[in-house]
A and B are shown apart, each in its own frame.
Chain A
Amino acid sequence: MGKVKGKPGPLARRPDNSAFKQQRLPAWTPMLTAHTVLPSFYFMSLICMLLGVWLLLTVQTTKEIKLDYTDAGTCNKCFEKRKNASNAAQPCSCSVVLPIEKPFKGDVFFYYGLRNFHQNLRRYMDSRDDGQMVGRKKNLMNPSSYCIPFAKDQNKIPIAPCGAVANSIFNDSFTLKYHGNNGSPELVPLLRGGITWYTDKNVKFRNPKLDGSTLAQVFNGTGKPPYWHKPVYELDPSDSTNNGFINEDLIVWMREAAFPNFKKLYGVLNRANPPFTKGLPAGNYSIEIQYNFPVQYFRGRKEVVLTTLTWFGGQNHFLPIAYLVTSSLILLIAVVLTVLWWKFGKNGKNMEE
């Protein structure tokens, strides 16, 4: 260990006199005295209290409405229909009513939600090929073995996108209608783009290089996932740039949820034209649903969620309440500490030998 340094002279092996080597770096070990600890507890309690109250007030301003449409309203028949897998190809549409009593001000977000759907199973999450989704031609034709049994179809044609995740894509679609004062239902415009992370849309998911050919030609030689009705390059007939692996609904679905009950963004209210410039006005709404996704197999539920957001997210009462609870606990501890200190440890009684 003793590295011989080329230092000449009689004290050649004398260690350097640096603060680090002599362990003289400034250090601080707090001395826990009542004068420092107790005030800091009260202070922490106060801070948490203030934050909690502030968050609570903020949360109160958000609006959220949830509607379980699994077998609600006219969707009952579709629910029954989807029980039978052989009817999977038959379209079924239904509608549910959604009254909104107070207007939703500001940006309004439209989510679909699933309950008891385990996107977080290990084998499920593994069952995808990120190489394929980023547009690698090699992976397009030879999906990763993780995708099995959804890597190739019966005819050994590679599936694009492969894997259980893509195969199980949520394929209900929604149209939100506003039944205003004038009687005739008015379509609520939803922005279907911009619902993904920037990195997902631009980095993580890419279509294979076109090189002059069309998207359909690029995907030639691949098959659609077994549960899909349309091939990946025809997912959005209305917007040709929203097809293939960069389809936003696909991207949203491919970002697996961490918990079995989750909601995913479907669209954002387009506030360009009245009466929706300030958000959603109060009134009756209905949602028309292309009911495709079967949930009865796994005793799941489907729902739609309409919500406004604040600076710290959607309607979430957990955080403010947690802050308030923490605050009161700290206060309690602080009081107990104060009493104990007052009774037993005051004036450093125990510090004397």
Chain B
Amino acid sequence: MTMCPLYVEKERHVKANAWDYNAKFCYADNHIKTSKYNIFTFLPINLFEQFQRVANGYFLVLLILQLIPEISSLSWFTTIVPLVLVLLVTAVKDATDDYFRHKSDQQVNNRQSQVLIRGSLQNEKWMNVRVGDIIKLENNQFVAADILLLCSSEPYGLCYIETAELDGETNLKVRQALTVTSDLGDITKLMNFDGEVICEPPNNKLDKFTGTLYWRDNKYPLDNDNMLLRGCVLRNTEWCFGMVIFAGLQTKLMQNCGRTTFKRTSIDKLMNTLVLWIFAFLICMGVVLAIGNTVWESWIGRNFQVFLPWDESQRSAVFSGFLAFWSYIIILNTVVPISLYVSVEVLRLGHSYFINWDRKMYHSQTDTAAEARTTTLNEELGQVEFIFSDKTGTLTQNIMVFRKCSIDGRTYGDVYNEFDQKVEITEKTACVDFSFNPLCDRRFRFYDSTLVEAIKLEDPAVQEFFRLLALCHTVMPEEKSEGHLVYQAQSPDEGALVNAARNFGFVFRARTPETITLCEMGQAVTYQLLAILDFNNVRKRMSVIVRNPQGQIKLYSKGADTVIFDRLDPSSEDLMYTTSEHLSEFAGEGLRTLALAYKDLDEDDFEIWMKKLLFASTVIENREDQLGALYEEIEQGLKLLGATAIEDKLQEGVAETIACLNLADIKIWVLTGDKLETAMNIGYSCNMLRDDMNEVFVVSGHTLQEVQQQLRSAKEHILGLSRVGSAGDVEKTDMFLHDSVFEETIIAEYALVINGHSLAHALEPLLEHILLDVACLCKTVICCRVTPMQKAQVVELVKRHKRAITLAIGDGANDVSMIKTAHIGVGISGQEGTQAVLASDYSFAQFRYLQRLLLVHGRWSYFRMCNFLCYFFYKNFAFTLVHFWYGFFCGFSAQIGLDKHYWTAVNHLFIWGSVTVYFAILFAMQSNGMFGILPSNFPFVGTARSCLSEQSVWLVILLTTVVCVVPGLAVSFLRVDLFPTLTDKVRHLQQSRKREGPQGQNLRRVRRTSSRRSAYAFSHQQGYGELITSGKNMRASAVSSAHSPGRTPHSSNWIENMLKRKNEVSSFLIFTVKTHLDSSRYHVGQYYA
């Protein structure tokens, strides 16, 4: 090995296939280590860490003091037994944790990957992969390190990855190799590849990479699109080759997993402060008693020397006082209770088990029970004030369901009974039989049979409606076996629509760049795809232009209702009003709506338009604008078909849970990576946003000034309304100081919606205060388009400034940072990803369990912990102050008045001091047997027997009990009677209810009304339309389209093409939205452990 200089890496130089060259730089290898100890270092390091805890250190000092016979007032084992016990328990826990870390490290390090060594591919363990190596990845494999994509099995060096582990997004992403390297596809060529990459040093920016490839005297710029990062999974790509740039701990993934901070509860902190105060109190007592001892020794003790001479070491009363001080420190050590820490831990452990055992937090569908992964935070659950929630997968199921539609002025989807009354759709409602359609999706549920009847009657409008749904989309079909179709849609809404069409007999079966094959009511029909007018944010619609087998050219369009309505032919006006009504109705139920329209095109007009389009698509400048204008031109005079309503299925009971948590004054902020509109829509459907709110502020500025302006005006709006008349001095007052007062007084309900760009500005030091102010004045806060890091920053902001307990809940890898930052992190378990769960403190299957976790377990834990602590301190003080008092009788000689052996065994082990245990131990300790074994250690033989037979002892016990109980009882009674808390009131109410007999409960029904609609269009992304029509993503066709530059709309051999491709259907690119990961799932979360 060469010696590696310690220096800060400014630039990284990596040369392919040049081990010696790369070794010079001593880059980290691909071996990862998250464990802390090994067998030999465990004991010293662990003990060192443990003794850094104040309590342990304190007891070590105490132990040393007790070994000095002049001072020792208690035998040394009174301290060593509990101390060893504490150390042992902690050490065992640390050891097990580390063992699992070792195991997961080992598992990851030993994964196999194919490395190009000396001209052949060899299997190597991950940990042996080095920077500069060329490795081969196969489909569904995890990427072993951060690698530069060189070539792949796909044309143009394309390669598809899923980055769920990195950013939580489950849709596929495209990466492309440099053109120069994309044909390196065989081993000899790769062997001879000797390019050198010079790039940025390791960092944690997931979406950025800058570097340059130097090869054959040329320079090629590299960016993030050329990189495959560790943690990604290769999808739909048979194989690819890449060159390792960053390995092991220097990969972006590892650089990104923030250090796991040790979470402490506020009770812990309080306890530490208390212990410090108590320690000071102990010192004070020690000093008082030491002075007492000095005085006593000089006045009385010196006279008593006949019977008890002073020690040789004890020459003066002052020195005796000094010794007495230390003796009393030992004797009174029980005020600083070591067992407190152990007992608190045990108590928390017990609570954690109660959480694990709770059936009401068990989800039977996924067979997932709640799990308290951290045992130390339970009582904190009772004090949560802010909840930060992810949206997808947490609030929603990320399942879109086709619920209703309006076709030609008629709605379908509701079920009516024989009296024409609407029937609530439940699990039991009979769903429509789709058996007429062999290609139907069995999981599809629809309850209104009239729609199927209409289909069977071949109602043209209904047919056209579903034809549109089957044609106008960018979904890719995958037919694994005959009739077994799987759709890969880039957004779940689109998948839901195509799937609906499939069930109603318009099965989208196959696609080529130029054709779309449907199976319409059992008959294969192939449409020629002439153009896809893709979706974007401005257009809010997408269209396709197809030629049907009859030769007619048709434009099918779907999009946001307002956008479509603007482009309708006047003949559709009546229908528009009816449909509009239906849309409002759908939106009122929280459904995502979408309007559908079509248009017949004239052959000649289309020819002209198409030529313009072809011309525009070759223009370099302003291409987007020109295309947009052309699209606009043809999407006019549409004929309305109807509208669809899709339900973005919320998790069960989300709205109720949120309402309930709101009642408990817990603020819920939604932090999501989704688009503004989608997020708002979900906000409405789970009742966080409501139409009757006074104002919903949307902050979407792109510059600091804009954001500042928007936040300011929002704040002024809120404050201005709430303090009428004094609006003038709002600006002058330091609002930050008084905001807590305002918060109380604001009755009006506001909501704040802020998007990612604005949030980036708002989180800067300049604006964070005003952001926080506004956010806290609002009932609901929704942040959309936020990155994982921003999620953490928002949590951090609240944590830093509000002194409130925060809780973050999420299900994906993009929530990990937030989960780790918040005081309490909750992971949604029972789904595919486990990263969030691994990083979390608590995990359960459903958002609604949060209610029980916080309001039941949290509350109980907090109550019990507080009661326990009160009792514990009381007990210790009562026990210890007796000795302080007794000091005045025994000449301050640090003699204890109680059986010290009870002290050791019972106090420390059985702190809950049940009477039974007490007496059992008492009699055992003072039994003849024990005395027989160790006479000098058990001198209290027979004491219990002789004492307890004295009646006066019992009379004293009775009296003491009465005296102790009465004041407390009186005070609690007065408190309940005169100043009852909410709990008391509720209990009172319950009792009086019980007395009056059962009454009808009027549960607050969660209302769900809103006028939101047309969210569909917004959850869609631009860009796939082009990929499809260009044929880039279709391997077989790629060759043919590469040969024919430009598209040939009138190609006559499209049917042959289509037939040729039918066999290859299965190898089509898969656009996946929620890909079901295979069994070799990669747990990024392991690194976080």
Task: Enumerate chain A interface residues (CB-CB to B < 8 A).
Answer: 1-2, 10-17, 21-23, 31-34, 37, 41, 44, 48, 51, 55, 85, 116, 118, 120-125, 127, 129-131, 133-134, 136, 144, 149, 164, 167-168, 197-200, 203-204, 258-260, 294, 297-299, 311-313, 316, 319, 322-323, 326, 329-330, 333, 337, 340-341, 344-345, 348, 350-353
Contacts and interface: CB of A to CB of B under 8 A. Distances in A.
Contacts of B353: 1
B962 A48 contact: yes
B894 A122 contact: yes
B985 A353 contact: yes
Interface string B909-937: 00000000000000000001001100110
Contacts of B875: none
Contacts of A197: 942, 945-946
29 contacts: A14-B359, A14-B362, A14-B369, A15-B356, A16-B357, A33-B977, A37-B969, A118-B300, A118-B304, A120-B889, A121-B893, A122-B73, A122-B890, A131-B935, A136-B935, A167-B307, A168-B308, A197-B942, A197-B946, A203-B928, A204-B931, A258-B897, A260-B891, A294-B306, A319-B956, A330-B962, A330-B966, A351-B985, A352-B985
B1049 interface: no
Nearest to B895: A122
Nearest to B890: A120
B974 interface: yes
Contacts of A2: 356, 369, 371
B685 interface: no
A228 B1019 CA distance: 102
A199 B978 contact: no
B959 A322 contact: yes
Contacts of B977: 32-34, 340-341, 344-345, 350
Which 9 pairs show the lowest CB-CB distances between chains A and B? A199-B942, A345-B977, A122-B895, A21-B357, A168-B307, A120-B890, A121-B893, A130-B935, A312-B951
A48 B959 CA distance: 8
Interface in B280-311: 300, 303-309, 311
Interface in B1-39: none
B358 A121 contact: no
B702 interface: no
B271 interface: no
B208 interface: no
A14 B361 CA distance: 10
B935 A133 contact: yes
Nearest to A198: B942
Interface string B354-371: 101111101010011101
A298 B889 CA distance: 15
Nearest to A44: B962
A118 B300 CA distance: 10
B963 interface: yes
Nearest to B299: A299
B327 interface: yes
B941 A120 contact: no
Contacts of A16: 357
Contact of B368 (A13, A118, A260, A294): A13
B987 interface: yes
Given A130-B936, A199-B941, A11 B364 contact: yes
Interface residues of B, number: 74
* Residue of B368, B928, B936, B987 contacting most chain A CB atoms (<10 Å): B936
A122 B980 CA distance: 50
Contacts of A44: 962, 966
A185 to B, nearest CB: 35
Name the prevailing secondary structure of the B interface residues.
Answer: helix
A127 B311 CA distance: 12
A319 B362 contact: no
A351 B367 contact: no
Contacts of B939: 130, 204
Interface of B: 73, 300, 303-309, 311, 327, 352-354, 356-360, 362, 364, 367-369, 371-373, 375, 860, 889-891, 893-897, 928, 931-932, 935-936, 939, 941-942, 945-946, 950-952, 955-956, 958-959, 962-963, 966-967, 969-970, 972-974, 976-980, 984-985, 987-989, 991
Nearest to B969: A37
A324 to B, nearest CB: 11
A141 B991 CA distance: 74
A297 B306 contact: yes
Given A12-B367, A164-B308, A351-B984, A326 B973 contact: no
Nearest to B979: A350
A295 B358 CA distance: 71
A123 B936 contact: no
Contacts of A311: 951
A55 B308 CA distance: 40
B542 to A, nearest CB: 42
A37 B942 contact: no
Given A120-B889, A344-B977, A344-B978, 10 more contacts: A16-B357, A48-B962, A168-B306, A199-B941, A259-B889, A312-B950, A313-B951, A319-B952, A337-B970, A351-B988
Given A51-B955, A118-B890, A351 B980 contact: yes
B935 A333 contact: no
B936 A120 contact: no
Contacts of B860: 23
B378 to A, nearest CB: 13
Contacts of B305: 297
Contacts of B985: 351-353
B371 A1 contact: yes
A340 B935 contact: no
Nearest to A333: B970
A323 B959 contact: yes
A99 to B, nearest CB: 29
Nearest to A294: B306
Contacts of A14: 359, 362, 364, 367, 369
Contacts of B308: 121, 123-124, 127, 164, 168
A100 to B, nearest CB: 25
A209 B932 CA distance: 15
Contacts of A298: 300, 303-304, 306-307
B362 A203 contact: no
B976 A10 contact: no
A168 B955 CA distance: 34
A254 B360 CA distance: 63
A94 to B, nearest CB: 21
A45 to B, nearest CB: 9
Nearest to A136: B935
A48 B987 CA distance: 32
Given A11-B364, A48-B962, A204-B941, A164 B895 contact: no
Contact of B309 (A23, A32, A118, A149): A149
* Residue of A116, A121, A129 contacting most chain B CB atoms (<10 Å): A121
Contacts of B356: 1-2, 15
Nearest to B370: A15
A234 B307 CA distance: 22
B391 to A, nearest CB: 27
Nearest to B371: A2
A79 B168 CA distance: 96
Contacts of A123: 308, 311, 893
